[in-house]
Structure 1
């Protein structure tokens, strides 16, 4: 286990078309927050040996659209260590985007990735016995 400020965990996943809620294949912002919960869980397992619990967000910024067919990458970075609390910074980036104008399965790698969501939140670990 590595309880060090700056420690980070990253997940990548494909955004399925079943998650599109709006015109233009847009996905709601809650999708990214769900991904942040998953990456925070792995970070806590690696740093504290427990999944912990999410206490809340202190900031969330939706900066760009996430669409069905995107490949997104979410990173959680440990920025503050308390007795039982851990403050994390999150970033969700679109690393690939579908290009339906070129064909039904066409897609592009985005270089640089498109930053879609940033957030800051607090997670807590159980008291040690």
Structure 2
């Protein structure tokens, strides 16, 4: 019998400030997205187990496309496995809005098709029941 927590999805959205650009072309480092994954995993643990939990590991992190300052990112975690104290989560981060400096200093657009920028699998642990 499958656990009712399997398949639960939590999503966060965040604007990427220009102060986070570290590289030419307003590129943002991959750690920015991993931080978002940590935040969405924390909410997932609160929702599934009533505790913030602890992030134990990442597996198979894939940086698929660049993240730039001015992007609006959407990070999603989905529970794929529930163990006694561990949960496996599938993560995906997408750019849903992007700046358009070619059209003006503050121009931006909502993307018709989000761009998948990072995917990963991670394991979180939560306290056991007493």
TM-score range, shorter chain: over 0.9
Deviations 1:87-110 (A, max 9, x none): 000000000000011111100111
**1:30-109 aligned within 5 A:** 30-109=31-110
Q: What TM-score comes out, normalization by structure 1 length?
A: 0.97
Q: What TM-score comes out, normalization by structure 2 length?
A: 0.96
Q: Equivalent residue for 2:122?
A: 121
Q: Equivalent residue for 1:16?
A: 17
Structure 1 segments, 4+ long, off by >4 Å, are: none
- Alignment partner of 1:101: what SS? coil
Structure 2 portions without partners, runs of 5+: none
Give the root-mean-square deviation of aligned CA atoms.
1.0
- Alignment partner of 2:47: what SS? helix
The aligned length equals 128
Structure 1 contact 48–125 (Cα < 8 Å) conserved: yes
Partners of 1:42 and 1:100 lie apart in 2 by 34
